[in-house]
Amino acid sequence: MKSKIHEFQKNIKVMSKKIFIISALSLLLFACGKKEDNTNIDTLIASKDVKGLQAKKTLIQADLAKIDEALETLDVKTEEALVSVLTVKDTVFSHYLEIQGSVDTKENILVQPEYQGTLIELNVKAGQRVTKGQILGRIDDAGLSQQVASQENQYALAKTTFERQKNLWNQKIGSEIQYLQAQTQMISAQRGVAQIKAQLAKTVIRAPFTGTIDEVFVEKGQVVAPSTQGLMRIVNLTNMYVSTSVPETYIGKLKVGTQVDVILSSLGKTYKGKVRQVGNFVNPSNRSFGIEVSVPNPENLLRPNQVANLKITDYVSNNAVVVPTNVIQEDGQKNKYVFIVTNSNGKTGTAKKAIVKLGQSSDNVTEILSGVSDNDIIVTEGANAVSEGMKLNF
C-alpha cells in the first residue's frame, strides 16, 4: 500500500514538472512571437516585402477604425459646450468652374507696308483714334501716277477705236478680225489701267478697321518695304474676349451663351461675359478644349494679354440645402457628418450627429443632398469640440 502511494506521489511530481515545462515553453513562445511582431514591420521593410507591408497597413487601419468607433461610443462628453449655430434654409446654389484666361482682341495688328519706297507722309501718332479706311500715310509711288495717266490715255484711244470698229461691223463693213483685234486691244488697255491703279493703291496706307494707334515704329522719310517691320500697331478695344482652355470633362456643359464672370484682379473689376465660341478639338497633351468669352469694355480699361479669372456656372440648384464647408467632419468610417441641434429652446439644445451626403462645393459652402433638411439648426463655431448627446449653449 505504501509503495502505491509513493508511486502515485511520484507520478504527480512528474506531471507537475511537465506542466511547468509546458507553461514555460508557452510563455517563451509567446514572448518570442511578441518580439517578432514588434520587429515585423522592420523585417518587412528590410526584405522589401511590398505585399506584406500593404497587409500590415490594412490591419493597422482596421484596428484604428475599431478604436475610433469605440471612442465615439465610450468617450461621450456629458459636459456643456458654448457654440454658434445656424438655421439652414433652402436657397439657390450655383457651382462654378474657376479657370484663368488671357484677354485678347481679333482687331490687334501690325500695319505692314505693301510697297517699297520712301515714306513721304505720316499722318498719325500714338494714341490717335482712327476710322476704317482713313489714310495713315503714303509711300513714294516712283512715277506710278504718271504711268496711270499714260495708260488711261492708251485705254481711251483703244476704246474709241473699238467703238468705231464696232459700228462698222454692225453695218457689215470691214472684217471680223479687225473688230476682234480692236476689242482685244481695248480690254488689254483696260486691264493695264486697273493693274497700275492697284499698284498705286498700295502706296497709300489705310486703317484696316476703326481703332486706336497704339504705337508707331517708323518716321517720315524712312525707306520701307514689305519685308521690314510693321509701320504701326492699331488696336480696337471694343471687341474684347478672353481665351482659355477647359478640361474635356466639361464637354456638353459649356455652350454658346453660357454666362461667365470675368474677374480682372489688376483692375479690381468684374465683368459679365458670355461664351461666344466652344472649340471642337480636344488637345491630346492636356485633354482640354478652347473657349472664347466675349467681354464688354465700356471704359476701355481692358488690354490685350491681361490675365483674367473666369467663373463659369456649370451647375445650379434652385432649392438647395447648403452649409459652411468647414463645419463638415469625417469619422473613422469615412462618413461625413455635421452636428445638428435637437430639443432647442432658442438658447440651449442637445447635439446630434447627422450623417450627410455631399454635393458640389463653391464659395466656402457645400450642398447637402441628404442628412440635413430645411429649418434644421446646425453647429458652426465650436463643432470640433462637440460630441453626440452633449448639451449646447448658444
- How do residues 113-128 score in pLDDT, each as one tens digit? 999 999 999 999 999 9
Domain count, the chain: 5
Whether residues 121 and 208 share a domain: the answer is: yes
Whether residues 297 and 375 share a domain: the answer is: no
Please tell me the distance from the alpha carbon of residue 270 to that of residue 260, in angstroms, as a whole number.
Answer: 10
27 has a pLDDT exceeding 90? no
Name residues whose C-beta falls within 8 Å of residue 178's C-beta, 6 or more positions apart in sequence: 165, 169
**Other C-beta atoms lying within 10 Å of the C-beta of residue 328:** 17
Q: Looking at residue 103, what is its pLDDT?
A: 94
Whether residues 289 and 216 share a domain: the answer is: no
Least confident of 18-27, 61-70, 133-142, 264-273: 18-27
Whether residues 86 and 3 share a domain: the answer is: no
Domain-ending residue, one of 186, 207, 234 = 234
Whether residues 216 and 140 share a domain: the answer is: yes
Q: Looking at residue 30, what is its pLDDT?
A: 39
CATH of the domain at 362: 2.40.420.20
Q: Which residues pair with 320 in a beta bridge?
A: 91
* Rg (the chain; Cα; Å): 45
> Residue range 37-64: average pLDDT?
77
CATH of the domain at 117: 2.40.50.100
225 has a pLDDT exceeding 80? yes
Q: Look at residue 102 and tell me if it is in a domain.
A: no
Q: Look at residue 99 and tell me if it is in a domain.
A: no
Q: Looking at residue 74, what is its pLDDT?
A: 63
Q: Can you read off the three cell numbers belonging to residue 344?
A: 432647442
Least confident of 32-41, 76-85, 326-335, 377-386: 32-41
Q: Looking at residue 58, what is its pLDDT?
A: 83
The model's pTM? 0.53
72 band by pLDDT with thresholds 50, 70 and 90: low
314 against 4, higher pLDDT:
314
Q: Look at residue 184 and tell me if it is in a domain.
A: yes
Q: Can you read off the three cell numbers belonging to residue 379?
A: 453647429
Q: Looking at residue 44, what is its pLDDT?
A: 77
197 against 63, higher pLDDT:
197
List the domain range (segments joined by +) for residue 249.
235-316
